[in-house]
Structure 1
Amino acid sequence: MLERFHSDNSLSEVHETIDATKHRSGIRKFLPYLGPAYLVSVGYMDPGNWATDLQGGAKFGYQLIWVLLMSNLMALLLQSLSARLGIVRRRDLAQANREEYPRTVNFCLYVLAELAIAACDLAEVLGMAIGIHLLTGLPILGGVCITVLDTFLLLVLQRYGMRKMEAFIIALVAIIGLSFLIELFFAQPHFGDVVKGFVPTSLNSEALYIAVGIIGATVMPHNLYLHSALVQTRKIKNDEAGIKRALKFNLFDTTIALNAAFFVNAAILILAASVFFTSGNTNVAKIEDAHALLKPMLGDLAPILFAIALIAAGQSSTVTGTLAGQIVMEGYLHLRINPWIRRLITRLIAIIPAVLVIVIYGDDKLDALLVFSQVILSLQLGFAIIPLIHFVSDKKTMGKFAIKTYTKILSWIVAGILVFLNVKLVADASVDKFQEGGQPILKTIIIIGWLIFAWLFTSMTLLPLLRRRKEKADASAAISMHSTAKPLTIANIPEPHKIAVALDFSDKDEKIIAYAIAQRKHEATYLLMHIVETASAKYLGDSSDDYETRKDMERLEAYAIQLRNMGYKTEIHLGYNSRVQEIVRIVNEAKADMLVMGAHKHSGLKDIFYGATVDQVRHKLSIPVLIVN
């Protein structure tokens, strides 16, 4: 079910399964590249967008159309950068982060990415449940539970290959677009007012909250992970011409797909503005209210199309959410989990808050929960965008395909706008909580949260810059060193007379002992040691006499007897409780000249569970330490 994953390929089961290297003419040259951006685009028209677009249109008319347009342009820029990373480096964003940042920073970025996917999935659950309720009358709580069943949809689609999956998603996108085209035909919005909505205007606090929600619903952090992996499903020629062709056609694909998503979002907002805002129904904040009001205003077909489009939006987002989760887990942790287990866990995480809200507050708070999920998505954006800009700007890894200076400046401006909006939103909410008085625990949590986010943001932003600066300094130092090369003087190193050998009674012991003997043969004394870490050893130390301590001593004696029979001089010693402290103590007290120990290649969470003994020991000793893998 769960396994350590060593492949360097993103989405390895479909990696380069679509051949784009064959010679084609005309429009057929573009067709192999068509698809990834459509899978990405469904995240830009999922049920979370519906809630923010409906509220924005009903409360503020056409005023927020410019926010949608700005969000779409931002999305177009950022998704093209994501595709560039995948095409040029053949790495997805999670893999690139893992290679660039320290383990602690990566763990935090992984948690935030998973949080973004869970927030997105929450919107899908609620949207699907509401759509089923509107179409069939089934209670929303029942619809939420039914959404567990679509866990297996991805498995069915994957059996038919990547192209069939993309065709399925494009069909759902077409259903959504056609439904709203018909809805707009019924609504007949005033064209002049729609055009005025494209002019930027100032926003009050309520409009800003919805605007940030719109941005969060449009520019989605998990889509940046997804796009950088999906473009790698195309097999391209790994030369300059092949990469340029892939970048060009993927830009076409992204432009077409995201403009389709912009049309859907704009159609929802315009529909709400023309039907509800102009008629005075500015308090329509719920999808159910919008559905109920469509029938008397636009006729019987309008609410049916509305519900069908909502179900299609939720269902299409289900597939891409699962793929994004797989990419994030494999990229950051090198762990692969069965897709249906992964999907089931993600879906249950989303269902639990939805069920709690329905049970405690009823259906009235669902749309507020939808908007809140989109604001959560927006808060994660900076932590996906900033690393992405660093990676595609790096000439060392991207070569001549690193982004140009003007693109870099524009990207940082977009990142700055998004971070500013998010910081302002969270800061305003934090100030309101502090002004309420009381609640010391909540205030403490807010302060700790701000400190953690400030540390992570600073680390994420500055570490790549510091690395590049260090690389330049090292290169300059290397040039300087090469220009003043001096002849080598080989020091006379004394041979070790006592070699300490740290054993853990695994199948690697024989290899460790062999390496130790190879250093001095029969002339040295070999100190065989093992650290006992039982509960008894922890409290009693060398007075411990439990079963494991006795068995460990017997194994050391058995090793020593075998070595003595071969003609080697040996000593044995047990340590207790702390591996690092005891190994250092025994080596120093025995006055050993060298230490030989094994390394087990622990990484990630295993270092937390098992400890990183090698690094700590070698920093505490002044003698040579030989590490045997």
Structure 2
Amino acid sequence: MHWIKTLKYYLKSLGPGFIIASVVLGPGSITVSSRIGSEHGYAFLWVILLAAISMVIYTSMGSRFGVSNKDSILQSIAGNYGRWFSAVIGIAAFLAASSFQFGNNLGVGIAMEGITGVDERVWPLIFTPLAIVLLFWAKNLYKLLEKLMMVLVMVMIVAFFFNLVLTKPDVGEIAKGFVPSSFSFDSLDIIAALVGTTFVLHGALYQSYLAQKRGWKVGDIKKGLSDSYTGISLLALISVLIIITSASALYPNGITVNSAADMALQLEALFGSYAKVIFSIGLCSAAFSSLMVNAVMGGGLLADGLGLGSTMDEKMPKIFTTIALLMGMLIAVFFRGNIIYTLILAQASSILAVPLIAIGMFLILNNKKVMGKLKNNLWQNVLAVFGFLLISIMVYFMYGKIITYIQSLS
């Protein structure tokens, strides 16, 4: 029975990692993973692994800051490097979060239409006000989010795992997919999109706030790091499950996924109506969890970066969060155009703002006056620089893509 007590203790110590996983894995991530699996099979599984390693490094950096400081990370950056720097990082984080909100609202609509048959454009008008009600009237928003996200992440894992079991994938081919044999400069758009599904730096930055809200101190560092590793591992696992499902069920039949709804329909064609319902439940869990927490992160980081409050108990973080929620809802309801391409572009373009976040985290985590013995060591810096270079290369590539796309709209 000792192992049961150990498991219960371990689960109770988790929370922030689940919140980070839930915000990163939204419908944009699911769409990208589904599309790439259906078009390229298992070939790009290795990208998820690299992105997950980078995300683990920066999330653990956020945890180490959170347990060792009373001030928030953006307050500390403002005090050491200037308010302008924290403000720019806050704005960058808000823009990165906002780029996800469109997809989150679309995902809620697509999933609920798959479950109920009611038009997808109705659901953002229901779920966004619900999220705003939770934001303003929940007595302890953090505890509510922690419990809700843990449930939703587990629902996602179960739903997508059942779909995977139905596909009976080839284990040998899966193993080959983790070997980077498919790299070429022509595939950088695929790699950028997949990196964007896992390596989300405003989430890693927010881990420091979650650790502080939990009340963790230096003595809890192992607990904080374990939470970070678990959350990002679950995030990577869900992305891998979706790619494998799409690669084994759709790729051999030459079926290309054009949306998350299309993924559900294709599974229904292969396995029956219950597969569509299971997938839609997983998609809805991903969409609503990401819709809620992503807006909280974006609004909270913008307010703190500007020096207007660092917790959801304060006025301005709630106002900025509400703006992010309403922006995503309005765009989803009134948008007309190529939804799937815009979703994938938004997913990849979210990385445009994040090199600044990486620089800010790197500087403050190497500041001995701030971090003391918990400042980055050599290997942590090596891996952090690798993550920064990965993001920077993707940003350089995506800049041209976005300019071209904007020009095509005019």
On whether the aligned pair clears a TM of 0.5, the verdict is: yes
Unaligned runs of 5+ in 1: 1-24, 238-242, 443-629
Task: State the Cα distance separating 1:145 from its structure 2 match.
Answer: 2.5
Task: State the Cα distance separating 1:110 from its structure 2 match.
Answer: 2.6
Distance 1:43 1:433 in 2: 26
Task: State the Cα distance separating 1:89 from its structure 2 match.
Answer: 2.1
**TM-score of the pair, normalised by structure 1:** 0.60
Task: State the Cα distance separating 1:197 from its structure 2 match.
Answer: 0.3
CA spacing shift, 1:391–1:160, aligned 2, 3 Å: closer
- Residue 60 (structure 1) aligned to one of 14, 37, 40: 40
Q: Does 1:409 align with 2:403?
A: no
Q: Does 1:357 align with 2:357?
A: no
Matches within 5 A, 1:183-582: 183-204=163-184, 207-236=187-216, 243=218, 245-281=219-255, 283-335=256-308, 336-337=314-315, 341-358=319-336, 361=337, 365-427=338-400
Amino acid at match of 2:238: V
- Residue 129 (structure 1) aligned to one of 96, 109, 113: 109
- Structure 2 counterpart SS, 1:257: helix
CA spacing shift, 1:378–1:230, aligned 2, 3 Å: same
Distance 1:433 1:162 in 2: 38
CA spacing shift, 1:161–1:216, aligned 2, 3 Å: closer
Maintained 8 Å contact 2:37/2:246: yes
Task: State the Cα distance separating 1:149 from its structure 2 match.
Answer: 2.2
- Show CA shifts across 1:264-293 (max 9, x none): 111111111111111111x32212221111
Partner of 1:71: 51
- Structure 2 counterpart SS, 1:147: helix
Maintained 8 Å contact 2:43/2:177: yes
Distance 2:180 2:283 in 1: 29
- Structure 1 counterpart SS, 2:253: coil
Partner of 1:602: none
- Show CA shifts across 1:84-123 (max 9, x none): 1111123333223322333444433332221112112222
- Show CA shifts across 1:200-236 (max 9, x none): 0243456321221121121113212321100012334
Maintained 8 Å contact 2:302/2:320: no
Q: Which has the higher helix share?
A: 2
- Show CA shifts across 1:121-174 (max 9, x none): 222111111111222222222223333222235338832564443122111111
Maintained 8 Å contact 1:389/1:411: yes
CA spacing shift, 1:218–1:387, aligned 2, 3 Å: same
Maintained 8 Å contact 2:32/2:344: yes
Task: State the Cα distance separating 1:27 from its structure 2 match.
Answer: 6.3
Amino acid at match of 1:348: L
- Structure 2 counterpart SS, 1:140: coil
Task: State the Cα distance separating 1:181 from its structure 2 match.
Answer: 1.1
Task: State the Cα distance separating 1:29 from its structure 2 match.
Answer: 6.3
% of aligned pairs identical? 22
Partner of 1:43: 23
Partner of 1:154: 134
CA spacing shift, 1:58–1:207, aligned 2, 3 Å: farther
CA spacing shift, 1:166–1:108, aligned 2, 3 Å: closer
Maintained 8 Å contact 1:74/1:414: yes
- Structure 2 counterpart SS, 1:192: helix
Task: State the Cα distance separating 1:294 from its structure 2 match.
Answer: 0.9
Distance 1:333 1:216 in 2: 26
Maintained 8 Å contact 1:131/1:307: yes
Partner of 2:149: 169
- Residue 182 (structure 1) aligned to one of 162, 167, 170: 162
Structure label with greater radius of gyration: 1
Distance 1:370 1:90 in 2: 38
Task: State the Cα distance separating 1:305 from its structure 2 match.
Answer: 0.5
Task: State the Cα distance separating 1:357 from its structure 2 match.
Answer: 2.4
Matches within 5 A, 1:13-28: none
Distance 1:340 1:331 in 2: 11
Maintained 8 Å contact 2:98/2:324: yes
Amino acid at match of 2:326: L
RMSD of equivalent CA atoms: 2.6
Maintained 8 Å contact 1:148/1:344: no
Maintained 8 Å contact 1:151/1:340: no
Task: State the Cα distance separating 1:371 from its structure 2 match.
Answer: 1.0
CA spacing shift, 1:344–1:99, aligned 2, 3 Å: same
Task: State the Cα distance separating 1:259 from its structure 2 match.
Answer: 1.2
Unaligned runs of 5+ in 2: 309-313
- Structure 2 counterpart SS, 1:141: coil
Partner of 1:586: none
Task: State the Cα distance separating 1:423 from its structure 2 match.
Answer: 1.1
Amino acid at match of 1:114: F
Distance 2:320 2:118 in 1: 27
**TM-score of the pair, normalised by structure 2:** 0.89
- Residue 89 (structure 1) aligned to one of 65, 69, 74: 69
Distance 1:284 1:30 in 2: 38
Maintained 8 Å contact 1:221/1:377: no
Distance 1:92 1:220 in 2: 19
Amino acid at match of 1:109: I
Relative contact order (alpha carbons < 8 A, sep ≥ 6): 1 or 2 greater? 2
Q: Which has the higher strand share?
A: 1
Distance 1:273 1:112 in 2: 34
Maintained 8 Å contact 1:51/1:286: yes
CA spacing shift, 1:433–1:128, aligned 2, 3 Å: closer
